[in-house]
Amino acid sequence: MEEFAVEFDAWAYDLRPRLPPEGLPREQVSAGRVYPPGYIDNLIQTARGAGIDMKRPPLIPNTRKAHEATEFAKDAGRLLPFHRTVYRAYWEAEENIGEAEVLCRLGAECGLDAAQLRNALTDGRHAERVEEQITWARSAGITGVPTFIFEEKFALVGAQEYEVFQDVARRVVERRGEG
């Protein structure tokens, strides 16, 4: 944000906990779901306005490994670029971000050591951390993503206008010291 120095962190959420490791076709996951007329088109238009060429990827992948890779990127000081790259890879390029090889290639594009990332995904060294984050989100009552937590005190849910973030940020800073 322009007027605040922001310390950004990303925590995992498991939006579809029953997905198999290989993921599932979108049409299967969405079977029976009815969207209001124009809902998807509006979503795509809104994304386009934010510079995102949003598609509807045919596969809904299991994201556990993507979250583990995110933790790896965090430890390597490359959280933001990796986080953004994975989102773009899925929603714009329709890549299978459930595959370790895809994640390693994306990681390399962000300056990560692909071989080390592959080892980390294979031995699952970040799996427990990801599980803890998902457990915390559930216990905190988070049901929608993205949810933005400001200084452990305020939650902002969903894609919001920049001005909303500004307003919340100002309020949070103003209330510092109030306990």
Partner 1 sequence: MESWVVGYDGDADVERHSGATEEAVAQNPELRIRAVSDYI
Q: What is the rounded distance in angstroms from the CA atom of residue 143 to the CA atom of residue 137?
A: 8
100 belongs to the binding site for partner 1 (CB under 8 A): no
149 counts as binding partner 1 under rule CB under 8 A: yes
Q: Which is nearer to partner 1, 5 or 50 (CB)?
A: 5
Of 97 and 110, which has the nearer Cβ to partner 1?
A: 97
Applying CB under 8 A, among 35, 39, 87, 162 the residue interacting with partner 1 is: 87
Under the binding rule (CB under 8 A), the answer on residue 150 touching partner 1 is: yes
Residue (85 or 120) nearer to partner 1, CB? 85
Find the shortest distance in angstroms from Cβ 112 to partner 1. 16
Nearest distance in Å: CB 53, partner 1: 16
Smallest gap, in angstroms, from Cβ of residue 15 to partner 1? 4
Contact 69, 117 (CB under 8 A): yes
If the CB atoms of residues 104 and 133 are measured against partner 1, the closer one turns out to be: 133
Angle subtended at Cα 62 by Cα 59 and Cα 64, rounded to the nearest 5 degrees: 150
Helix 100-109 × helix 64-75 angle, to 10°: 30
Rounded Cα distance between 60 and 31, Å, is 13
- Using rule CB under 8 A, residue 104 touches partner 1: no
Q: Exposed (0-12), middle (13-18) or buried (19+): which is 148, by Cβ within 10 Å? A: middle
- Residue 61 touches partner 1, criterion: CB under 8 A: yes
Q: Taking a C-beta distance cutoff of 8 angstroms, is the pair 169, 150 a contact?
A: yes
Question: Of 40-48, 107-115, 123-131, 142-150, which part binds partner 1 (CB under 8 A)?
Answer: 142-150
For residue 15, state whether it binds partner 1 (rule: CB under 8 A).
yes
| CA separation, residue 16 to residues 26, 164, 179 (Å) | 12, 28, 36
What is residue 36's DSSP assignment?
Answer: P
Tell me the C-alpha distance between 75 and 166, whole Å: 28
Q: Which residues bind partner 1 (CB under 8 A)?
A: 1, 4-16, 60-61, 63, 66-67, 86-87, 90, 97, 133, 137, 142, 145-152, 169, 172-173, 176
